[in-house]
Every structure is written in structure tokens, then in C-alpha cells.
Structure 1
Amino acid sequence: ALDVLENLVVQRLFELEKFNLRGTGYAMRRAIAKAMDERCGAIRTALQKYNDLARKLIPPRPKLNYDTVISMTWVSEFALLRFSKRNVQEEQWADHLVREMTVQWHLLQCAKQEIQRLDIEVRRLWTALHDEPIVWRQSIAAAHRAGHTVLAAEMQHRLNARQQIDYALQTRLQQIFALPGFSGN
């Protein structure tokens, strides 16, 4: 009964994902919504069957409600419901809040790594914004020396436009440098 329930919920998760994909047309969304309505009815039936059988087990398994099952977004949450010699649901790691906090902790670790990476990228961008106009000016001077004044004028025009954008970027980068958590050199 638990396998059937798990299968139905996983199918519902796939349908939800398909429903939210870009490029899914109106007709396809309506068909998916109809299939999801039917799937919800099947989930309710499978849930009732599971609860009836879970009550008869020794020791009895906990009763599940529809909202709890629908909120299960990871297949691993169903693994906790499996029968075992000891009740794993009483373990600390089986607690939904503990698992959620573990996920949050891992996300925090990823965020710290991302901040380190961004510190490096910010410095690279600052260096590029500093070095690029020098290369442009050298190229403009070379075009003048070669007698390509029209090309040199166009390059100067583009450099001026880029420098306006670069100034805005440099202003933002200076704001980032001033942040208390900025650790770049």
C-alpha cells in the first residue's frame, strides 16, 4: 500500500514539474491539471487503504493525512514510513524539522562558498574595468597612426559609451567593497 501511495505522489510531483515548465501551452496545462485532479483522487484512495493496513500492523504504524502526504516533496520522506524492526520515525534524524534544518545548513555552506567565489569575480571585474580602456586607447592610437581616422573615431565613440557603463559598474563595485562582509583583497 505504501509503494502504491509513493508511486502516486511521485507521479504527481512529476506532473507538477511538467506543469511549471516554460513552453508548456495552455491546452497541455489544462490536460495536466485534469490528470492531477484524477491523481489526487487516487492518492486519497491509496491513503485510506494505507491507513487501514497500518492500523492492523504490530506495532501499528502512524496514520497519515492527505496534507502530510501531499507536502512530501522528497522520495526519501517515504523511506521513513517503511516498516523496520525499530521505529525509525522516533529517531532524531527522522524529524522533519531536523531534516529541514540540515538542508538549510547545507544551503548556508553553499552560500559561503558562493560568496568566496563572488569576491574573486568582483576583483576580476574591477581589474577588467581598469585595464580595458588602456587597451582601447592603445588600439585607437594605432588606428590613428595607420591613417584609419574614421575607424579611430568610431572606436573612440564606443569607448566613451563603454566608459559610461563602466562608471556605473565601478560605482556598484565600490559599494560592494564597502560591505562589511566583503572579504576580497
Structure 2
Amino acid sequence: MRWVPGSAAYEAGVAELAKRDYRRALDDLERLIVQCLFELTKLGISGIGYKLHEKIGKALKACAEAIKKALLRYNQCAAQLIPSRPALSWTDIMDMVSVADFDLLRDAREDIRMQPWTQRINRRAMNLYFNIKRAHEEVERLNVEIRRLLTFMYDEHADYFHAIAHLIITNLALAHELSLRWEYRSQVHEKIVGRIWQTSCLPGFTGNVLTEHRIGRDTSLNNGVPLPPWAKPVVSAHPVAEDEEVGEDGIPGLSNERDAYHFVNFLDDLGKE
């Protein structure tokens, strides 16, 4: 029996052809988007010459035109489906930064497009939720790593001090080289400590900026070692305002007693055994 317009078999065949055209249009659109993303990735690679930059730029322009045509064809095929699929705009295409966003447009035995997790705003909220959870875990870890870093920096300072004191008599050239390296490391550590101190002054900071003693290290190695330069406050980095009162016990650049107490404890602990 021949199929005639209006028969169930004919309508089912037309619907299947429309789905085939829709899937092909979607595949073509996805392919062009991925190609465009790859070309954009090449632009960020170091060592690319000017001519190659021009070539990639021309390829991106051609790819953009092809994407517009593929997007138009996709919207036409999506409108012919029963039920019809929502049309996509150029902005929607630019927001689809992963292949998973395209996979959600495909047909399945169960229409998953109406599920809450398929909505882009819900997925962003989910990612934000898990990012916040990971951030809390990171804060706990950083509270440990900050003290480890400060302990390492002070132990290294003590090791340099003892090594130079020993070599200044036996090997003056090596002692001079270590002194240069020590000075360089102190400058680097000064920047690090400045960031750590700024972090400790943030609202909600739950850690501390005190050093510890490493397991297996002789605590007497830190005896008699002067404070490193990076452990002293840099007054020039915190200029005192004209109307700021600084008493005998005040520290320039620290606006309240809590910060001053915190900083004094930090310096005192660095000099402990």
C-alpha cells in the first residue's frame, strides 16, 4: 500500500525526516563551533608569528560566516519539528562553551529538555554552589599552608645565616655568593609576607601568621638568629595620615589595637626558639 499524505505512515516518515535534518543541522553547527574554539585556542599559544596570526584571523572570519548560515539552517529545521524546538540566537551560541550544551539539544527516548538540571541558569547555580564548598575547604587548607610557608621561610633564613657565618672564614667567595642569594630570597619573602599579612587582615580570616617547628629539625638552629628583613613592618607601604595619632606604643600603618597586637605576636613568634 502506497503512502499518501495524511496517512499515519506518511506522517511518521515526514516526522522522521525532519528529525534527521534537525540532527544533521545540529551536528554541522556543533562542528563549526568546535573548529572556531580550536582556532581561538591557537591565538593564545606563545610563539605564533604575525603571518600565522593573520591567517588564523581570516579563518575565524570565515568560520563566523559559516556559523551564521548553519545557525539559520538549524532554526529552520528546529521549527519544522513536532513539537518545535526553540530557536537559537548568536548570543546563545556564544554561551555554549562546552559540547555538553549541544548534547542537551539532541532527542532521546525521554525529553530531558524540561528537566531542571538542563536549564543553563540552574547548572550555573550548581557550579557556584560546589565552588563555594570547595572554597571553604581551600580556606582550611590555606590556614595550614600559610603557617608551613612562614616556618619554611624562617628556617631557610636561619640556614643561610649559619652557612654564611661558617663560610665567611673558610671560603669567602662562596660566602659572598650565598649572601647575594640570601638577599634575593629575602626580597622575595618580603613580597610574600606582605600578601600574607594583607590576607590576615581580611574580614573572616580564621588562621594565624605564626611559625611552627618542623618535625626532625633541631630547634637550637634558630637560636641567636636575627629577625629577617621581611619580618619587620614596611612603614613606607602604609603611610601615616596627617590626622592619625601615633603614640609611644603605636605602630604606623596599623589602624587599631587588634592589628597591632596581631602583628607584634607575629614578630615575636619569628624570634622564638
TM range (shorter): 0.7 to 0.9
| Pairing 1:119–2:125 present | no
Deviates more, 1:134-143 or 1:42-51: 134-143
Q: Distance in 1 between matches of 2:88 and 2:175?
A: 74
Q: Which runs of 5+ in 1 are unaligned?
A: none
Moved segments of 4+, more than 6 Å = none
Query: Which stretch shows the higher mean deviation, 114-123 or 151-160?
Result: 151-160
Q: Distance in 2 between matches of 1:4 and 1:163?
A: 55
Q: What SS class does the counterpart of residue 60 from structure 2 fall into?
A: helix
Q: Whole-Å Cα distance in 1 between the matches of residues 179 and 139 of structure 2?
A: 36
Aligned with residue 173 of structure 1, among 191, 196, 199: 196
Give the counterpart letter for 1:140 in structure 2. I
In structure 2, relative to structure 1, the CA distance for the partners of 1:41 and 1:148 (3 Å cut) is same
Q: Tell me by how many angstroms 1:153 deviates.
A: 5.5
Residue type at the aligned position of 1:12: C
TM-score, scaled relative to structure 1:
0.80
SS in 2 for 1:51: helix
- Trace 1:8-157 onto structure 2 (pairs within 5 A): 8-143=32-167, 147-148=169-170, 150-151=172-173, 154=176, 157=179
Deviation at 1:141, TM superposition (A): 4.0
Provide the TM-score with structure 2 as the length reference: 0.57
Farther off after superposition, 122-131 or 83-92 = 83-92
C-alpha deviation, 1:177, in angstroms: 3.9
Cα separation, 1, equivalents of 2:174 and 2:58 = 64
**Aligned AA (1:100):** R
Q: Report the Cα offset of residue 17 of structure 1.
A: 1.4
Per the alignment, in what secondary structure is the counterpart of residue 106 of structure 2?
Answer: coil
| % same residue | 31
Number of equivalent positions: 183
CA 1:108–1:23: 2 relative to 1, 3 Å: farther
Q: Aligned Cα RMSD in Å? A: 2.8
- 1:99-138: CA deviation from partner (whole Å, max 9, x where unpaired): 1122223333333343333333221221122222332333
Contact 2:164 2:179 in 1 (8 A): no
Residue type of the alignment partner of 1:173: I
Identify the structure with bigger relative contact order (alpha carbons < 8 Å, sequence gap 6+): 1
Aligned equivalents of 1:133, 1:123: Cα separation in 2: 15
Aligned to 1:183: 207
Distance across 1 between alignment mates of 2:93 and 2:192? 48
Q: Going by fraction, where is helix more abundant, 1 or 2? A: 1
- The 3 A distance-change label for structure 1 pair 161 and 89 is same
Gaps of 5+ in 2: 1-24, 211-273
